[in-house]
Homo-oligomer: A and B are copies of this chain.
Amino acid sequence: MDTGTPRRRPMRADARRNYERLLAEAADAFAEHGTDFSLEQIARRAGVANGTLYGHFPTRRALLEALLSDRMRALAAAGEELLAHPSPLGGLTEWARAATAHAALYRGLGTAFLQAVEDETSELHAACQAVLATGDALVARARNAGEVRPDVTAMDLYALVNAAAWVSEQNSAPQGERLLEFTLTGFRT
């Protein structure tokens, strides 16, 4: 089977321009109002008709995926590099902080990410699985070094990171970061 990215033909110039404008407006709108912001308004701000948005992005998650896939790949790559961190626990902690910051980019992302990992129909599924796999490598290394409890899983870390981002969205207090620190401590042997 061919799971690779489909070889995409170059877009027509006007299509490409609309595509880019939609992405730019969506990035602004999501950053300011969260991922539930009206798609109709995004289309309007981008100066295109309603249906044009749906032509490029059939679902809200497809739009998110286009917006975030580069960044998610970078997060996974950063995790791979941290496998060379002198301290397994230090590498894990550093990556957990980066992943939390990543999930806090737009309000609503924590929800999307935590759901996407077990929803195979989600356009974010593949990217989230890659992030989870990176977390797994970091957790395994720390576990093998005897620095975290043997029952800690990558899914524990993934849920924590998204929960911490979610807490930060809901409440102005620094509870998100504190949740992250307390729980990482709880992971330790």
Interface residues of A in 145-189 (CB under 8 A from B): 152, 155-156, 158-160, 162-164, 166-167, 170-173, 175-176, 178-179, 181-187
Q: How many residues of A contact B (CB 8 A)?
A: 31
Question: CA separation between A179 and B167, bound complex, in Å?
Answer: 13
| CB pair A114 B170 closer than 8 Å | yes
Question: CA separation between A170 and B155, bound complex, in Å?
Answer: 13
With A171-B118, A172-B118, A185-B186 already in contact, the answer to whether A178 and B156 are too (CB < 8 A) is yes
| CB pair A175 B187 closer than 8 Å | no
Question: CA separation between A117 and B167, bound complex, in Å?
Answer: 13
Q: A41 an interface residue at 8 Å Cβ cutoff?
A: no
> In the complex, how many angstroms separate the beta carbon of A119 from the nearest chain B beta carbon?
10
* Cβ-defined partner of A182 (8 Å) among B170, B176, B178, B186: B186
Inter-chain pairs besides A159-B175, A181-B186, 15 sampled, C-beta below 8 Å: A115-B170, A118-B171, A118-B172, A152-B182, A155-B173, A156-B178, A156-B179, A159-B167, A159-B176, A159-B179, A163-B163, A163-B179, A182-B186, A183-B183, A185-B186
